[in-house]
Amino acid sequence: MSVKRIVVVSDCTDVAFVEMRSSIFRAAEAYAPDARIQIEPLVPVQPFSVLNAGFMVRLVAEISTPDTMIMFIMNSIQERTERIIGRTEKHGFVFEGTNTGAAGWLVEDFGVAECYEVHDPGFVPFGGKFVHGPAVGQFAAGRPMAEIGAPFPVDRIRRTLPGEGTIVHVDNFGNAKFPLRQQSFEYGDKLLVEVAGETFEAVYWKRMMELQDGAWVVYPGSSFDLHEFGEVRGKGLLPHGVGAGTPISVKRA
């Protein structure tokens, strides 16, 4: 299956994204001068958060067509891990990035049809520009995975998965996304939500914007089976310094 669209998921949100993007285009053109690929706008990740990167990669796969390639660039761990490229069993999404755990949610839900370790040139100060970009560009231009790297065992793909009651993302409205599978509520239930050392009085509701300004609401969210917690037409959790990895507790009042 060919690749038409490339989505870059990264916490490199300044000129570094332009460098990675240009590296992809340059490698593709060098491998196949007539190659035509499309790189989507950057999907920004919470700095140094493998959990948030994993959520973003999984979200991109949820909403993309099968001819999409997902490149994830962020590495906050001390160890210099493998660089991997592979394809999922479900839908055949191609993924490429550092083996930090950011691919875990994707491969857990979509399976792995094949995976390779990108040939390692040794340490470079910016792998996204000098290693990952060229690998992605060459593959998008038609180079087989088997020429880009050596076979990599699926069981060695790191998996960083969200636990129950752990925030995986806070959007620009201050709404937090998190798994809430072990409890069930009825619309209208009064709730107590504990997060970042504070307790909020909230209500379980279907459409949060129906409620009064400033009300705190827990509701089924827009991202697969996750729930969300936010403030109606307010700043939500933005002033509270909350992000991916923060525990959140929801119970009936």
pLDDT of 76: 73
Q: Say how many C-beta atoms besides its own lie within 10 A of residue 108's C-beta.
A: 14
User: Within a 13 Å sphere around the CA of 148, how many CA atoms are in the beta-carbon half?
Assistant: 29
pLDDT of 105: 97
For 28-83, write each residue's pLDDT tens digit. Answer: 999 999 998 999 999 999 999 999 999 999 999 999 999 999 999 987 777 889 99
Distance between CA atoms of residues 132 and 185, nearest Å: 45
pLDDT of 19: 97
pLDDT of 1: 58
Distance between CA atoms of residues 134 and 131, nearest Å: 6
For 124-180, write each residue's pLDDT tens digit. Answer: 889 999 999 999 999 999 999 999 999 999 999 999 999 999 999 999 999 999 999
pLDDT of 123: 85
**CA angle centred on 64, ends 27 and 129, rounded to 5°:** 25
Give mean pLDDT, residues 11-34: 96
Tell me the Ramachandran region of residue 236: left when phi exceeds 0, alpha when psi lies from -120 to 50, beta otherwise. Answer: left
Is the pLDDT reported for residue 182 higher than 90? Answer: no
Q: Please report the DSSP string for 8-55 in residue order.
A: EEES--SHHHHHHHHHHHHHHHHH-TT---EEPPPEE--TT-HHHHHH
Closest CA to 177 of 231, 227, 238: 227
Helix locations, the chain, DSSP H:
15-31, 50-63, 104-110, 127, 133-140, 145-148
Q: At 211, is the secondary structure helix, strand, or coil? A: coil
This model's pTM is above 0.85 = yes
Is the pLDDT reported for residue 204 higher than 90? Answer: yes
- E-strand ranges in 56-121 read 68-73, 83-87, 94-98, 114-118
pLDDT band at 181 (very low <50, low <70, confident <90, very high): confident
Distance between CA atoms of residues 2 and 51, nearest Å: 29
Report percent pLDDT > 70 for the chain.
Answer: 100
Q: How far is CA 159 from CA 77, 176, 213, in A?
A: 14, 22, 39
Distance between CA atoms of residues 28 and 6, nearest Å: 12
DSSP at 129: I
Q: At 246, is the secondary structure helix, strand, or coil? A: coil
For 90-127, write each residue's pLDDT tens digit. Answer: 999 999 999 999 999 999 999 999 999 999 888 888 99
